[in-house]
Structures are given as structure tokens and as C-alpha cells.
Amino acid sequence: MLPLAMVLLLAACGSDKPAPTPPQAVAPSSAPPALAPTAALDPTAAVAAMSDADLAGQVLMPYAYGDSATTVDKLAAAGNQSIAGVDTPAEMVAKFHLGGLILVAFAPDDPTGATNPATNVDNPQQVRALTDGLQTAARQLPGGAPLLIGTDQEYGVVTRVRTGVTLLPAAMAFGAAGKPALTKAAWGAAGEELAAMGINLNFAPVADTLGPQGNAVIGSRAFGGDPATNSAQTRAAVQGLEGAGVTAALKHFPGHGHTTGDSHEDLPIVKQTADQWKKQDRPPFESGIDAGAGVVMSGHLDVESLDKGVAATFSHKIMTDVLRKDLGFKGVAITDAMNMAPAMKWPAGEAAVRALNAGNDMLLMPPDLTAARDGILAGIQDGSLKRERLTEAVTRILTLKKRQAAKPQPALTTLDSPAHHQAVSAADAASITVLRGACSGPLITGPVTVTASDGRETARATLVKALQEAGMTVQAAGGKVVHLVGYGDKAIDLSPDAAVTVIMDTPYLLAQAKSPALLATYSSSPLSLQALAAVIAGKAKAPGKSPVPVGKLPTTAC
């Protein structure tokens, strides 16, 4: 948890001002109707019975402070007061009649960290207790519709729940493996574990196609640079998640891979022609939609060939004409975080109305929850937001919730299970890539010393153990060096004396490495490093192929 001063700085804009008087009463309806099982929910009838305040709440998906729905410390209470004027997450649900809530975690080495100032995930048991408490609060609202509880469990550098779960490799590892059946099985395991924790919406997979110049904020979060490969991988990941009862969210529509900009900081410009967009960025999104993804996330991106000068999140041409009419998407469109710089161009209330009018159905992480809600209500009153647009959005949201209820929630015992390890290990083994070096037998013989760039001690220790289990002799110094580098590392972090250099993120840095053997795992997850150890020890081959170009190196030396 950040210091309170930082919490208040990163939280809601305008939080030091009194909340505006809402144009309409926001108290709960006089008497909630009797609660019915979600599977019996009639979205059309439920929406017809909702007040404007109920409707406005359903399209909001903020984050909250605290690791419990009902009991928080003073620091978390202060954070919740700053964005919502309440102490606890459960009170936030009740006050705003929320349709959803996102679980977040701050990590300094996470490219999305700036928009995630809170941390309310720790371990699976705590997350399950939190989500149970949130759903209890939601059941007390008019109509009793459950919450959409989402998180960014992409795996790799963007992973919210890191302990007690089966960690998948980053998306790029699946692109390197090139086996959609393995992808589907691994993401099915991930979906079961998320569902067991009470998370019913995963903001994944990343369907962006990386351009030849790469993109640091997307990087290994994407499957790679080939639209056809990405389409197959996106389809498989969606099928795995959705088959486990967790809604998949394709992001960042209409594609964040062909820009070097970072939409957390500014509005990136995508300069592809319309024909290039159709051939490069469109296919994975189309494939994911066809596979049944229930959510598409809009990107804060200026895709000039589609709607020049307008961020996609606020573009009717992109979010309605392209996504709805052209691609035929019928699910829920959710904005990227509204506390990112391009979305904070306007006050929270105006930004909310603009995003809804563009065709988004849900607003993620508004920086000022009261202002966003009041802006929606004011828009209905002054005609800048048609009530029909709002009821359309909420009908889609409730339809998604009804669909989710058809699958029973797994027990927590499913987490980190041998069956899930087996499914994920198969994908990890298929992803290991040799870009220089031998393709059979041990890559090095004799004693081994494992080194790593700063901040990678956990990965180093994991590989040491895995190499020992593979029968190799590992010593603290004096052995042939296996050097690990990862996310954010540069040429200075390479070891000139290493016999083997391994990149645990995008493989671009290997083009500057001088080692006789160069390998890529694309991930530092424990199962990825176990697969790496098997290849180094000569007990397994490395069938992976780099899904992005790496200087003059081949996609595989094998």
C-alpha cells in the first residue's frame, strides 16, 4: 500500500472539493424486489424496473482500497473516501449501485502500475473472501444482480494474483509455442482458478499485434507480430477462459501494437492505413469475437485511418460503426482505465458521457466516482446522453451476468493443482526458443553458475533449483555462466562472459548478446524456468520460434 499522501495524489481528481449535488436522488428504490437466482434474471425486465441512479451505477467499474469488503484500515478508508466518499468497498457498492469492481495491485515493475495505486489482492483465500463480501453487498441492491469482478491477470509482467496460483507464462510464450490447443488448455486452467477466487472477468487476452518497431508497454503481453498466429492464439485463450466460466476481455481495441506510445501517459498515434489496420490489427479481435469473448476493451489510441484525432474510447466511428456494425460484436464494451491521461482530458462526468455516447457500455476506474455518476445523471436530464443508450448498455451488462451464472463456481482446491501444472507446463516446454546454440544435448557441461541482472533473485534461485533437479552441478561461482535478463533490461545488463544468455521477456535484447548460446523463455514464471532447465541440461529440445524479429538472428536456431 502506498503512503497516504501518494494515495491521495494518485486517486480521484477533485477529491478536495465537495461532491456536486446530484440532479436526481440516488437512494435505493423504496423496496428491492425479491432476489432471484441470477440464471433466472430477465435483463430486459430488470432494466425496465431500474431508476436512473440504478442504471448509472451498473455502468461503473471502479477500483477500491482494502483487502476486505467490509473491514479496512485507516489508510484504505482514506483512499476510498478520496474516490467515493465511503470507507469500505462494500459501502462503495451500496452507495453507487455498482455494476462491477476491478481488483488491482500496485507493482513498480508493472507497465500498468501508474493506474493501479491500490493493492487489494494477496492470496487466493483472501481474494475469495473479498469477492464473496462484494457479492453479498451487491445482492442487497435493487434487483440483486451480481457484480462483474474483474482483474488484469494477463500473466507475465501484468499479473495481479501471484501466489498460490498456477502461473502461466506471458502471452508471447504462447506465440512462440504456436500450439493453440496448448494455449486453450492453459487458459482453461487459469479460468478455473480465477473463477474459484470469485473473479468472473479477466482483462485478457491482449489481442494487439506488435509492429516491427515493437512497443514497450505491450511487449510480451502480446502473442507476437504475426496477425494469423495472433488470431489463432487469441481464439484459443478466449475459448479456455470462457469455457471455464470467466469472461474474456479482448484489448486494446482497435490495436495498441503499431505505436511506440504509452496510453498511460499520453494519446498514442497509430499511423497505419485503413488497409494495413484491416490486415494487421483487426484479425485477432475478429477471431476473439468469433470465439465468444464477452468483453472488448477500448484503447485510448488515435488510430488515424479510423477516426483521426479522436481516442478510440471516445470515437463513435470506432466503438459503434467498426466494433458493433462491422465486426458484429454484441457483448459488453468496457473502456480502458478512465484515470489514464488521454481520458482525463475532460472532467470525469463529461468523460463518462462521451465514452458512453461513443458506444462503451461500462466505465473502468473513473478517477472521481461521484463526478462520473453525477455526470451520467446530468446527461440524461439535459439530453446529452439518451436514456435509451444507457438502458442498452445495462441490458448488455445484465445479459453477460446471466450468462456467467450458468457455470458453477469451482472450489479453491482447484488452484495450483497437478492437473493445472501439467497443462501449463506443456505450453512452457513448447515455448522455449534457442536463437543461437546447439539443438540437442546439453547446452553446457560441467559446473554451472547462474547470474542475473538486478532485481531477479527469485528467478535466479528458481533456475538454480530447477537445474539441480535436472542433474546439473550448480555452484555459486567459477562455473560456466547462465545469465538471466528480463523486462526493462538493457545492453548494460548483459554479461559478456556468459556461456548462455536467457531473456525472460521480449527477445529483442538477445540481438546484442555475445554468448555462444542464446535462449528465450519470454517469462520468468516457475514452470517456464523448469522448462528452460530441461533444455539446458539436454533433457528436452527447444521447439519454440520467436514470434517477433530479433535483429539478424533466426526465429530459431533449430
Catalogue the active-site residues.
Answer: 264, 336
Burial class (CB in 10 A: 0-12, 13-18, 19+), 411: exposed
Locate cell 472488448: which residue? 296
Q: Which residues pair with 364 in a beta bridge?
A: 61
Local structure of residue 180 (DSSP, 8 states): H
Q: How far apart are CA 312 and CA 319, in angstroms?
A: 7
Burial class (CB in 10 A: 0-12, 13-18, 19+), 48: exposed
Q: Tell me the three cell numbers of residue 530.
A: 523448469
The answer to whether 66 and 88 have CB atoms below 8 angstroms apart is: yes
Q: How far apart are CA 547 and CA 224, in angstroms?
A: 5
CA dihedral 373, 379, 380, 382 (to 10 degrees): 140
Q: Which residues pair with 61 in a beta bridge?
A: 364
E strands of 70-226, at which residues? 100-103, 148-151, 201-202
The answer to whether 217 and 255 have CB atoms below 8 angstroms apart is: no
Count Cβ atoms below 10 Å from residue 545 Cβ, excluding itself.
20
Burial class (CB in 10 A: 0-12, 13-18, 19+), 31: exposed
518 by DSSP, 3-state: which? strand
Residues 6+ positions from 558 with CB-CB distance below 8 Å: 434, 439, 541, 542, 543
The sign one gets for the Cα dihedral 293, 296, 302, 307 is positive
Rg (C-alpha) for the chain, rounded Å, is 24
Q: How far apart are CA 515 and CA 534, in angstroms?
A: 19
Q: How far apart are CA 159 and CA 108, in angstroms?
A: 12
Residues 6+ positions from 382 with CB-CB distance below 8 Å: none
